[in-house]
A = this chain, B = another copy of it.
Amino acid sequence: MASVIRLYVNHPLGAGQSVPLSREQSHYLFGVMRKGVGEVLELFNGHDGEWLGRVVQAGKRNGILLCERQSKPMQLPPDLWLIFAPIKKARTDFIVEKATEMGAAQILPVQSDFTNSERIRQDRLQNHAVEAAEQCGGTYVPVVHELQKLSKLLDGWDVQRQIMFCDETRLGSGEALPSLAGPWAVLIGPEGGFSPAERRRLNEMPEAHGVSLGPRILRADTAAVAALTLWQSALGDWQ
């Protein structure tokens, strides 16, 4: 299974456009992967779709590609946010990777009352989203936000955006997902569940809909994939 290398580049893409590679990308392509002049790669930048680019300069610090033709149109994901409480580092990385594959447009880590995590490395998580987008064949990279308090996020909530919230401590008593078009957010509770105050607040928001993820308690990373699957297959781009 020979496979073409896919690269995210922070540069405009278009026919005849010359695209300089970063030092890291040049090192990876020409040092590690031993690619050379003439090699064709798939490029995307998050807004111009996917383009085939040919290597015209293979310097291990300063490679240059030439855009030839568009190989995939730009495909934006649905206007879907994933809101989650960060957990252990490896599982937080997984959630960002999986949210990218599953087609979330924005990823918002939050501190809830029962979240242990005090900080995240936003730049590292954003890089994970770039790598997952390179891998999954998408043309879009979701934005990873800085950590914020859930209560503050809900204070400024736009009532036009529906919330599907998954409370792992509330088993088998969910609503059906209402088939409302427009912007949505999927909210995954922390492993300890939402606090009573948070649960009360969500239950009082008419735009928030509690959904059950079955009779077993899912880990937060499993819950993120499961909830995004339910949403994408009912309302998103899997239909």
The interface of chain A, by Cβ under 8 A from chain B, is 1, 75, 94, 97-98, 101-103, 114, 135-138, 192-193, 212-219, 222, 225-226, 229-230, 232-233, 236-238
Q: Considering the chains assembled together, what is the distance between the CA atoms of A11 and B194 in angstroms?
A: 35
The residue among A213, A214, A237 with the most chain B CB atoms within 10 A of its own CB is A214
The residue among A138, A193, A229 with the most chain B CB atoms within 10 A of its own CB is A229
Q: Can you list 13 pairs linking A and B with CB atoms under 8 Å apart?
A: A1-B114, A1-B192, A75-B215, A97-B222, A101-B217, A101-B219, A102-B218, A214-B236, A215-B238, A222-B225, A226-B226, A229-B229, A229-B230
Q: A222 is contacted by which of B75, B101, B230, B233 (Cβ under 8 Å)?
A: B101
Main secondary structure of the interface of A (DSSP, over half): loop
Pairs A-B, 3 closest by C-beta atoms = A214-B238, A225-B225, A1-B192
Q: Considering the chains assembled together, what is the distance between the CA atoms of A216 and B75 in angstroms?
A: 10
Contact A102 B222 (CB under 8 A): yes
The residue among A97, A213, A219, A225 with the most chain B CB atoms within 10 A of its own CB is A225
Contact A229 B225 (CB under 8 A): yes
A29 to chain B, nearest CB (A): 21
Contact A218 B136 (CB under 8 A): yes
Q: Considering the chains assembled together, what is the distance between the CA atoms of A135 and B223 in angstroms?
A: 14
Instruction: Check A232/B214 contact, CB under 8 A, given A98-B222, A192-B1.
Output: yes
A13 to chain B, nearest CB (A): 19
A217 to chain B, nearest CB (A): 5
Contact A238 B212 (CB under 8 A): yes
Q: Which B residues are CB-close (under 8 A) to A216?
A: 101-103, 136-138
Q: Considering the chains assembled together, what is the distance between the CA atoms of A101 and B214 in angstroms?
A: 10
Q: Which B residues are CB-close (under 8 A) to A102?
A: 214, 216, 218, 222, 226
Given contacts A137-B216, A225-B226, 14 further A-B pairs with CB under 8 A are: A1-B114, A97-B219, A101-B216, A101-B217, A101-B222, A102-B222, A102-B226, A103-B216, A136-B217, A138-B215, A138-B216, A215-B237, A226-B226, A229-B229
